[in-house]
Amino acid sequence: MALYGAAAAVLEGLERGAGGVKALVFQSRFPHVRQLYALVSETLRYSAVLEELLAGAALLRAEKKLSPQLAKVLVYDLLFGKGLKCGGRWKALARRHRARLEAELARLKVRRKVSRNEELLAPAQAGGPGASQVPRYVRVNTLKTCVDDVIEFFKREGYCYLGKAASVEELRSLSGKKFLLDLHLPELLVFPPQTDFHDNVLYTSGHIILQDKASCLPAFLLSPAAGAHVIDACAAPGNKTSQLAAILENRGQIFAFDVDTKRLATMSTMLTRAGVTGFQLAQQDFLTVDPGDPKYSKVAYILLDPSCSGSGMVNRVPVAEAAPSAERLQALAGFQRKVLSHGLSFPALRRLVYSTCSLHREENEDVVGAVLQEWGSAFRLVDAFPGWPCRGLAAFPGAESCLRASAADTLTQGFFVAVLERRGDGAAACRSLPAAAGDSPQHGEGTEPGAAPKKRRRKKQRKVCAALPGNCRCSKQRRSGGKQVK
């Protein structure tokens, strides 16, 4: 019931104008914020269809104690979602009306002359071309396990491993229980859209992280050296922070900032579950952090993913949230320029990655171009990931060095990434940018998909890791926890 009740409360808050979806989800005390956000977003996407079904089935007249918001959530999950895996007495109530609701859905499809649920949605609600085809990306948490062992685990779960993808088109064609190793990121597995792992033991134990591919790019391209000091400037909910820790191999120090207490609490739980150590969480606006504080004198890498319009979240943007106004974009861009310039002011900084989940030039190329001009020749824009297909808009000379991502072109959420490096003596000591997965040895090469490399085959036959807590042969777990400061 907790999930459905929390989702209904968010919907009610939206109707009252109490805030946006993201704010209301984080203000709720539901522990799995991504699961809640996805359920609310999908319920909103199907809102008009659900209202027709509720009216046709007369559900609210039959069940006087059922609120319209809770009814929408329950009927969405019953007919379009995961089939009411939780819910207590409300689950039983919804199932009593299942036959009537399914009959009403069938009649609606006949009236609309469609055969698929998705076809009931208006084009804007459907999320645009390719939005519903974004795969399920699974990042292997190398602090607790390794890619080969996770592949073996899923094979034993009945999934078919197809090896490393050679193109985006291969990712697009995934279906059923098949999965691939991503063609760009070496620790990313790719499953068909809508594959759900929230109840999988690897997810609940922190061995895998459910993270969109585009969201993995900033930490991957920051590529801090093991032992480095790193700032994650706008850190919650923590997926990028845990990825940074994995790249650092839990060596060095991560300073993570966010202004929201509840989001930091959720993040602390998530990082502990992921086995992250050597981090400090601070409830603080990054703009108020003093670059001259000796505490940050060794910070050489900064990941900056500031607040943005979220216009790139094409697969989960609720239709109830309107596009940002010109005034709103200007306000966001002003904040983003200020926070990016502030990040560049840390004296030992070598590399900074700026990213947003926005599609708007005002928040992306325009911000980077303005700040680079402000800093003169002190920093340069790095041509990151030359093989990445989507580049920055031609807003200024060299803007094509930035990366863009979209559902249509890269099968990801909409995203923007820019890599900035200090010129001069500091640049010489900066670790080189990582290569794509295509330049790395393929996981599971052998006589069959997912087979171990020959040198390790006998060892794997003797001791195959189930990738479960406490059993992983390649575990790098650290027992001590991170420190939270206020």
Residue 452 predicted with pLDDT over 80: no
- Lowest-confidence segment of 95-109, 151-165, 344-358, 423-437 by average pLDDT: 423-437
**DSSP code, position 133:** G
What's the pLDDT score for residue 32? Answer: 81
Q: What is the mean pLDDT of residues 137-150?
A: 97
| Residues with Cβ within 8 Å of residue 66, at least 6 apart in sequence | 59, 60, 74, 90, 93
Query: Rounded distance, CA 243 to CA 271, Å?
Result: 10
What's the pLDDT score for residue 228? Answer: 97
What's the pLDDT score for residue 371? Answer: 98
Q: What is the mean pLDDT of residues 366-386?
A: 95
* pLDDT tens, position by position, 53-63: 888 888 888 88
Q: What confidence tier does 124 reach under pLDDT thresholds 50, 70, 90? A: very low
What backbone phi and psi angles, to 5 degrees, belong to 108?
A: -65, -40
User: Structure pTM?
Assistant: 0.73
Sign of CA dihedral 80, 82, 84, 87: negative
CA-closest candidate to residue 423, choices 376, 372, 380: 380
What's the pLDDT score for residue 150? Answer: 98
What's the pLDDT score for residue 472? Answer: 60
The residue behind tokens 């390794």 is 146
What's the pLDDT score for residue 198? Answer: 85
Q: What confidence tier does 87 reach under pLDDT thresholds 50, 70, 90? A: low
Query: Rounded distance, CA 159 to CA 36, Å?
Result: 26
What's the pLDDT score for residue 464? Answer: 38
Residue 23 predicted with pLDDT over 90: no
What backbone phi and psi angles, to 5 degrees, belong to 114?
A: -130, 165
* pLDDT higher at 82 or 462: 82
Residue 33 predicted with pLDDT over 70: yes
| Active site residue ranges | 357
| Residues with Cβ within 8 Å of residue 385, at least 6 apart in sequence | 184, 217, 221, 403, 433, 436
The answer to whether residues 220 and 437 touch, using CB atoms and an 8 Å cutoff, is: no
What's the pLDDT score for residue 451? Answer: 39
* pLDDT tens, position by position, 296-351: 999 999 999 998 988 887 644 444 455 677 888 999 999 999 999 999 999 999 99
Residue 461 predicted with pLDDT over 60: no
Query: Rounded distance, CA 218 to CA 215, Å?
Result: 7
* pLDDT higher at 172 or 478: 172
Query: Rounded distance, CA 369 to CA 13, Å?
Result: 38
What's the pLDDT score for residue 179? Answer: 97
Q: What confidence tier does 430 reach under pLDDT thresholds 50, 70, 90? A: low
Q: What is the mean pLDDT of residues 204-225?
A: 96
Q: What is the mean pLDDT of residues 391-399?
A: 95
Q: What integer best gives the mean pLDDT of the chain?
A: 84
What backbone phi and psi angles, to 5 degrees, belong to 150?
A: -70, -40
